[in-house]
Structure 1
Amino acid sequence: MKEITKEIKNKKLFLLDIDGTIAFDSTLIDGTLEFMNRVLEIGGKYIFITNNSTKSIQDYITKFEKFNIPVDETSFLTSSYATALYLKEKYDEQLLFVLGTNSFVKELKGFGLKVTEKIEEGIAAAVVGFDNELNYKKIENICELLLTRNIDYIGTNPDLVCPTSFGFVPDCGAICDMIEKAVKREPVYIGKPNPLIVNMALDSTGFKPEETLVIGDRLYTDIACGINANVDTAVVFTGEAKMKDLKETPFKPTYYCNTIKDIYEMIR
């Protein structure tokens, strides 16, 4: 673990978290645009690997077009996308109860999955995402299902908080913690730190693990994900993680720096 160095000049595939790493809500962090342009200049590729399941890939494309960052469908691997692949493989044709945003529900339906937001017969699993449209009725419904039926329980990501321009708001992990207090059950999480997203990026691009750098602001998801996938990692201190956290964490990044601008300076 060391401060970011020019050693990263051999990196070609940059896997970036979004919230707290390159942006807060609709505001880019200083240096982000310069970094993205430089990655393209050196023949590299950036892919955004986010645990934020409130938006579909198409939603993110629309958002990033407003940032003036060149993106397409291959530029994003989200926890909702990874969860949809997992659910399609394990529960195809079975009914799934979903606690999540309208965008998340729409994305799951786009994969041909049978989903409901109501208590019905024949539900095979309950799925929870980061839901900024949450209401108490949704909480009541999933608690009833998990307490009265022997069904599987899946969460998109274990993040406790999501960075915002004013600080943090509860993320999927915090929502699931609240549910756990009532039902005494924890979900199986699909997003980071599960290495699935990194492996998908490597498979789709053809870059090698040694050419890859995971960049994020959370140690227990972003950095742990890179460690689990055996690729180098860099933590930035613009989101959840702070310098003091590096002393105690079991998830030691390869590199650390203050902001994405520091990484740009090293590959400039």
Structure 2
Amino acid sequence: MVDMTEHRPVDTWLTDMDGVLVHEEDAIPGASDFIEALKASGKRFLVLTNNSIFTPRDLRARLLASGIDVPEEAIWTSALATAQFLADQRPGGTAYVVGEAGVLTALHDVGYVMTDRNPDYVVLGETRTYSFESITRAIRLIDKGARFIATNPDPSGPSPAGLLPATGSVAALISTATGRQPYYIGKPNPLMMRSALNRLDAHSETTIMVGDRMDTDIISGLEAGLRSVLVLTGSTSRAQIEHFPYRPSRVVDSVADLVRLVAHEPGGTE
């Protein structure tokens, strides 16, 4: 653990989902209590995920089935962050999307038109049904000048049967074919954190990020100026922390260890 001598208040919490609140469809012990403590405290919070397959409504239903009651408006995905970024960059633009409902709905909601005729962007999201045809079309559109955006750089994701190729792996395939690298929106890009802070009208100095991965959650929180808490219920073990040149503000076994801090200690990680 890194001792902290500052005593800044904590007004806002950001927390990762997979590995922090749930494993697949199973709630991590203490996750529901943590969310309920956040709601009872009146503090603003968002659950963040690089998953761009699902809409916030879908993810709320998934979490609720696991016994965790997160309001739909408290869920922030890489798909939503991507849509916000594109709306800021080129309002009312066009995109060819390789992805599912999460990114398609987010782009529609900001006024984007989906097309494969000279789109402004090719947007690569996550899907369980990548097709050779859609990837080939994306390659050809990028080769003709479409800008290349990817919702997140995760190379693989979990499934009950083992690892699945994810957005980063398919992006590497497209990059190899086109010689063009995508701009990744999701973690570890601190843009994901900044967009979440903007959604809450929050400030980095009074916000804590909770995550299970040093190479995405903790680094993006650090680069966005947030204090961070690493939980050991996901991808990073305590021994692996020493392999990184940066440290979280605090290390805990699980979010169960944060319930009392949320409920009773306004200083959070202090």
Same topology, TM > 0.5: yes
Which residues in structure 2 correspond to 1:1-268 (within 5 Å)? 1-2=1-2, 11-116=10-115, 120-147=116-143, 149-164=144-159, 168-264=163-259, 266-267=261-262
Kept in 1, the 8 Å contact 2:193–2:224? The answer is: yes
Question: How many residues are aligned here?
Answer: 262
TM-score of the aligned structures, taking structure 2 as reference length: 0.84
What CA distance in whole angstroms lies between the structure 1 residues aligned with 2:166 and 2:205?
31
* 1:42-82 superposed Cα distances (whole Å, 9 cap, x missing partner): 33233111111111122223223334433334301211011
* 1:82-119 superposed Cα distances (whole Å, 9 cap, x missing partner): 11111122233332111111342233122221113xxx
Kept in 2, the 8 Å contact 1:49–1:77? The answer is: yes
What CA distance in whole angstroms lies between the structure 2 residues aligned with 1:42 and 1:95?
41
What CA distance in whole angstroms lies between the structure 2 residues aligned with 1:175 and 1:254?
34
Kept in 2, the 8 Å contact 1:161–1:169? The answer is: yes
Q: Percent identity?
A: 27
Partner SS state of residue 149, structure 2: strand
Partner SS state of residue 121, structure 1: coil
Q: CA distance change for structure 1 residues 208 and 154 in 2, over 3 Å: closer, same or farther?
A: closer
Partner SS state of residue 120, structure 2: strand
RMSD: 2.7
Partner SS state of residue 34, structure 2: helix
What CA distance in whole angstroms lies between the structure 2 residues aligned with 1:44 and 1:8?
17
* 1:140-172 superposed Cα distances (whole Å, 9 cap, x missing partner): 22222233x122111111222334566643332
Structure 1, unmatched stretches of 5+, are: none
Kept in 1, the 8 Å contact 2:80–2:103? The answer is: no
What CA distance in whole angstroms lies between the structure 1 residues aligned with 2:13 and 2:187?
16
Partner SS state of residue 57, structure 2: helix
Structure 2, unmatched stretches of 5+, are: 264-270
Q: CA distance change for structure 1 residues 81 and 206 in 2, over 3 Å: closer, same or farther?
A: closer
Q: CA distance change for structure 1 residues 164 and 44 in 2, over 3 Å: closer, same or farther?
A: farther
* 1:119-155 superposed Cα distances (whole Å, 9 cap, x missing partner): x4322221111222222222222222233x1221111
Post-superposition offset of 1:191: 1.6
Partner amino acid for 1:214?
Answer: M
Q: CA distance change for structure 1 residues 195 and 103 in 2, over 3 Å: closer, same or farther?
A: closer
Partner SS state of residue 89, structure 2: helix
What CA distance in whole angstroms lies between the structure 1 residues aligned with 2:58 and 2:87?
21
Q: CA distance change for structure 1 residues 257 and 178 in 2, over 3 Å: closer, same or farther?
A: farther
What CA distance in whole angstroms lies between the structure 2 residues aligned with 1:256 and 1:122?
48
Partner SS state of residue 88, structure 2: helix
Kept in 1, the 8 Å contact 2:190–2:220? The answer is: yes
Kept in 2, the 8 Å contact 1:226–1:233? The answer is: yes
What CA distance in whole angstroms lies between the structure 1 residues aligned with 2:22 and 2:242?
26
What CA distance in whole angstroms lies between the structure 1 residues aligned with 2:162 and 2:227?
28
Partner amino acid for 2:228?
Answer: T
Post-superposition offset of 1:228: 1.4
